[in-house]
Structure formats: structure tokens, C-alpha cells
Amino acid sequence: MDLGLKGKTAIVTGASQGIGRAVADALAAEGARVVLSARNEEKLARAAAEICAAAGDAAYYAGDLNDPETAEQLVAFAEREFGPVDLLVGNTGGPPSGEAHALDEAAWRAAAELLFYPQIRLTRRVLPGMRERGWGRILYITSISVKEPIENLALSNALRAAVTGFAKTLSREVAADGVTVNTLGPGYTATERVKHLFEDNAARQNTTPEALEQRLLAQIPARRMARPEEIAAVAAFLVSEPASYLTGQAVMVDGGYTHGLL
């Protein structure tokens, strides 16, 4: 299937590693011109160079999306490099673990700055142009926690729900302008993020990361974690031309992990 992404300008945030990096690779392989963004300039430069070496078109912008200025600067950079932004894949790192009753206000504010506000700012900046041109794709990477809250991840459980609510509301406002807005909730995916979660939880539960991993795998019907490329393949479809009638959806890519019927 031709995903219709040749020559489209894409921004992928959180793209220096893990899921974001895999999404950038997938979009570039489909012919999109991809601006990768994250905080670590060295990793970004390497990722962009690897994409270009594989005959893709990529540039990078290093910045911290906690800083309100970064979204504006990133989009302006993408426009200068490749032209108006057609695709936005909003992604950042996960917040620290913690229980809902124990977190202080500073922790909640920091999590909103990491997970919620960057998506709003980036979207507000790219949306008017997409609507004017009558074509746009917006996808936020969330988590299976929007379907089934995960123990000891209160910040993620709450803020991903906020992003999902924003996406659903926005999707109805802009559907008639040819802009789709969806979210993708990865299940457990073999990245740095998950390694750290196992280490953190193992210390808390007085066990080993390996034992925790085995316990988790037993709960996943696929009996393994996802590879980042498996998440990216679905992301690429969700922002594709053929997915033009798919909007306002929260798509879980989880090897069957979540139990909910819908």
C-alpha cells in the first residue's frame, strides 16, 4: 500500500531513541521529509545522519519541550528546512513513577509540562496551516494506561487521559478541514524507558528487573514486548493518506495486553 507520504513534511518529537526514533525511520522510509526533535543533540545528529544514509530526507532540531519557546522554534525550523508541516507526531519521555496519593503539586505540574503542554503548543502552531491547506495528520503517542491505568504510574495515567480528551475534542473540530487527530497507545515496548521502569519497580518491590520482566511477559497474550518498529508501523499508517477517514481514535498497539472490549 502506498501511504501517500512522499514529500510531506513531518515533525516527530522524542525522536532521538525508542518509539519516536522508530517512527521517524518509518516515515522517512515512506518518503516523508522528517524533522527529528529531542533534547540530546548528539543522538539526534546520529539518527538524522543514519536516515539520510538510508536515502531518507531528515533534519534535526535539539530542544527541551518543557520550555514553551521550543515548540515555536521547532516548527519554524521545520518550515525553513522542508516547508509547511503536514504531519505532527507528538511524543516525549514518560514521567517518573509514583502513587496518586503521594505525589506533590510540583510533580503534577512537571508531568503536565512534559506530556500535555508540548502537544498543545505544537498543535496550535501547526494546525492553522493544515486547515488552510485542507490536509493534515496529528498523532500523539500516549500509553495503554488510557485504557487500563497502570499501578504506580499515576502521572502517566492522568496526563495521557488529558491528551486523549484533547485529541478527541480537537478531532471533531477539524475533521471537515481534512485534518485527522488520533492517539496511539503503545503496550510494553523494548526501549530504554521500560528498562528504567523495571529497575525502579524492582528496587521498590525488593525483586530483580528480570523477575519483573518475566511476570509481565506472562500477562501479555503475545508473550513478548513490542519492538519499536511494530509501534512505528501502525503510527505510519495512522498519519497516512489512506487513513483519511480515521480520526478521534485511541489505538492501542499492545500484543493483546488490554482487556477492554472497545
Give the residues lining the site for ligand NAD (CB under 6 A). Answer: 13-20, 38-40, 64-66, 91-94, 114, 141, 143, 186, 188-189, 191-194
Q: Are 114 and 141 in contact (CB under 8 A)?
A: no
Query: For residues 18 and 136, which CB has a smaller minimum distance to ligand NAD in the complex?
Result: 18
Task: For ligand NAD, give the closer residue by CB, 150 or 246.
Answer: 150
Nearest distance from residue 34's CB to ligand NAD, in Å?
14
Please, which residue, 174 or 252, has the CB nearer to ligand NAD?
252
Nearest approach in angstroms of CB 155 to ligand NAD is 10
Question: Of 122 and 243, which has the nearer Cβ to ligand NAD?
Answer: 122
Least distance between ligand NAD and beta carbon 137 (Å): 18
Q: Residue type for 2, please? A: D
- What's the closest the beta carbon of residue 235 comes to ligand NAD, in angstroms? 11
Looking at beta carbons only, is 115 or 243 nearer to ligand NAD?
115
Q: Which residue's CB atom is positioned nearest to ligand NAD?
A: 18
Q: Which is nearer to ligand NAD, 142 or 174 (CB)?
A: 142
Phi, psi (5° rounding) for residue 122?
-65, -40
CB 122 to ligand NAD: min, Å: 11
Minimum CB separation from ligand NAD for residue 65, in Å? 4
